[in-house]
Chain A
């Protein structure tokens, strides 16, 4: 597994690092930068949705929290971006800790809707507070260096991917999360502490999202409650993850790339048919759930490997699960 990931990951990373040297066009660089951002958001969303089985409609709130923290620190406290950005991640993490403790006790639809309510409440808060600029939002100084934002976004998402790969695919942590997803009680019987694990996953999902929000704020130079704290981030991440394949790391990447590419191509070259875009996107989502419920990657993987070997792998994975969670 590890060799394979390096075999694939390294060349891709090298190509991506070299890309700005080849692509001089600032518009394409902007599009790719945004695509990378969505990959990061989808990956972070999948930690909770795919691996842990908790659908977080408040994902966007962490994005907004990071964006607003960065913006407020830069504009009101005059911090440099390099310090304000990490604080965006920290605050998103703290937010996840505070919100997670009570919210993660809820299950299924209740969790999904409680997080939605919470994110709406956060949006309302940003709308009525003075420090956030209310509905007018906040403007940040324009630092429009496309290469800077490209590399920053790439670095954050690459690190996120590597970290998630290590934690979820190469260490027992991922298996423990899956155990909770499949059977909460059973996991507890195995000596796992679901509450603690879920909290860890929640924070693991929130921190990169917050950091990406901070980069977004500085990159776009303008944030407001409608665009950063609305449903856009959660909805889009959900669609990307489901389309690509939940509970995998490659799935969200594929899903984010395809959905974003489709969206961008449609937007750039068929803008007269914007409404058609909504119809097609909706149909693609609905049809993909009917025909490829495991997502593109999940389905591809399913076709490749036989059922038997799949079962075998699961057994061997289960054997790897440590009997006790060290506390």
Chain B
């Protein structure tokens, strides 16, 4: 029992990482109806950007976040029209086409990354990676790693920022209209193309920032992408595709399951449990935890 607070805390901190992986991804799905297979690769590129920028400038990766965001948002903004073309073709199943297209991108990105960065794993240093808080009160002992806490704060900040953007700005109104109904949004004067490009840029930028963070907390390598793609997919599906408000809960659930299993059950069965739980939840509630997915 004495481990429970620690288990919960670790689950929350792990969940924080999953929130950052999935939140912008979910938004993009809501607006563009694209399942981006390359999400893990954006994270990977972001992680390398953070790693090298830190090496060159010597600045802390957390200070570099805005730079990485702008760089990658621009890339996303410029790529989006191609994806739009894939999705709006009236041939075949657009969902599938988008999936295959981004799958191709993911393979290509991985090849490029391996060529440029090589095969080795790296790690990005940050001031936060040094310390941790140790709380011992009421017979409980709890350790909180400061870098993971910083990650959670970042996750909540991004979530809040996205929330504000969507609910309180004109841009957000357009995005929501677009997600609801593309044609009528167009009639109401929402520039669909422009908005979708901005959303995709936003998503790529946020994913890249997440990569910087993961580089600090875990590691950086050219082959890291796929792992995060899986988790991104799972969180988004668990939340209900495109249902933004579900993402933090789904991410926390995933983090909790992992943490509880690693501590209380056979750790070797953790991933089996994660996949089995995801599958079962989908069967019970086909549109995600809250039944609110698109």
Interface residue ranges, A against B (CB under 8 Å): 49, 53, 55, 102-103, 105-110, 112-114, 116-118, 120-121, 124-125, 128, 231, 235, 238-239, 242, 246, 275-290, 293-294
Contact = CB atoms under 8 A, between A and B. Distances in A.
Contacts of A246: 92, 96
B188 to A, nearest CB: 27
A278 B279 contact: no
A196 to B, nearest CB: 19
Max chain A CB contacts within 10 Å: which of B35, B114, B279?
B279
Interface string B8-19: 000000000000
A277 to B, nearest CB: 7
Nearest to B34: A109
Contacts of B96: 49, 55, 242, 246
Given A117-B278, A275-B115, A289-B101, A103 B283 contact: yes
B112 interface: yes
Please report whether the interface of chain A is mostly helix, strand, loop or mixed according to DSSP: helix
23 contacts: A49-B96, A55-B96, A102-B283, A106-B283, A109-B237, A112-B35, A113-B237, A128-B272, A238-B103, A239-B100, A239-B103, A239-B104, A278-B108, A278-B111, A278-B114, A279-B108, A281-B108, A285-B103, A285-B104, A287-B104, A289-B101, A289-B104, A294-B92
B119 to A, nearest CB: 10
Contacts of B3: none
Contacts of B269: 124, 128
B104 A114 contact: no
A279 B100 contact: no
A110 B108 CA distance: 25
A128 B273 CA distance: 12
Contact of B286 (A110, A278, A289, A294): A110
B77 interface: no
A253 B35 CA distance: 27
Contact of A124 (B108, B112, B272): B272
Nearest to B105: A286
B92 A293 contact: yes
Interface of B: 35, 82, 85-86, 89, 91-93, 95-97, 99-101, 103-112, 114-115, 226, 230, 233-234, 237, 241, 268-269, 271-272, 275-276, 278-279, 282-283, 286-287, 293
Contacts of A290: 82, 85-86, 101
A279 B101 contact: no
B280 to A, nearest CB: 9
A282 B107 contact: yes
A283 B104 contact: yes
A284 B101 CA distance: 10
Given A124-B271, A278-B110, A118 B95 contact: no
A200 to B, nearest CB: 20
B101 A121 contact: no
A238 B272 CA distance: 25
Contacts of A231: 226
Contact of B97 (A128, A279, A293): A293
Nearest to B272: A124
Contact of A117 (B93, B106, B110, B275): B275
Nearest to A293: B91
Nearest to B279: A117
Given A282-B108, A289-B104, A294-B91, 17 more contacts: A55-B99, A103-B283, A110-B282, A117-B275, A117-B278, A117-B279, A125-B272, A276-B111, A279-B111, A281-B107, A281-B111, A282-B110, A283-B104, A290-B82, A290-B86, A293-B89, A293-B97
Contacts of B110: 278, 282
Nearest to A289: B101
Contacts of B287: 110
Contact of A108 (B95, B106, B234, B268): B95
Contacts of A120: 230, 271, 275
Contacts of A112: 35, 99
Contact of A238 (B89, B100, B106): B100
B241 to A, nearest CB: 6
Given A235-B103, A289-B100, A290-B82, A110 B279 contact: no
Nearest to A124: B272
A226 to B, nearest CB: 13
Contacts of B279: 114, 117-118, 121
Contact of A114 (B89, B91, B100, B283): B283
Given A114-B283, A121-B279, A284 B93 contact: no
Contacts of B283: 102-103, 105-106, 114
A279 B271 contact: no
B234 A110 contact: no
A106 to B, nearest CB: 5
Contacts of B93: 53
A197 B112 CA distance: 43
Contacts of A238: 100, 103
Contacts of B35: 109, 112
Contacts of A116: 230, 233
B275 to A, nearest CB: 4
A242 B107 CA distance: 15
Looking at B89, B92, B226, the one whose CB has the most chain A CB atoms below 10 A away is: B92
- Chain A to chain B: the 7 pairs with minimum beta-carbon distance, closest first: A282-B108, A278-B111, A285-B104, A286-B104, A282-B107, A279-B111, A121-B275
Contacts of B282: 106, 110, 113-114, 117
Nearest to B236: A113
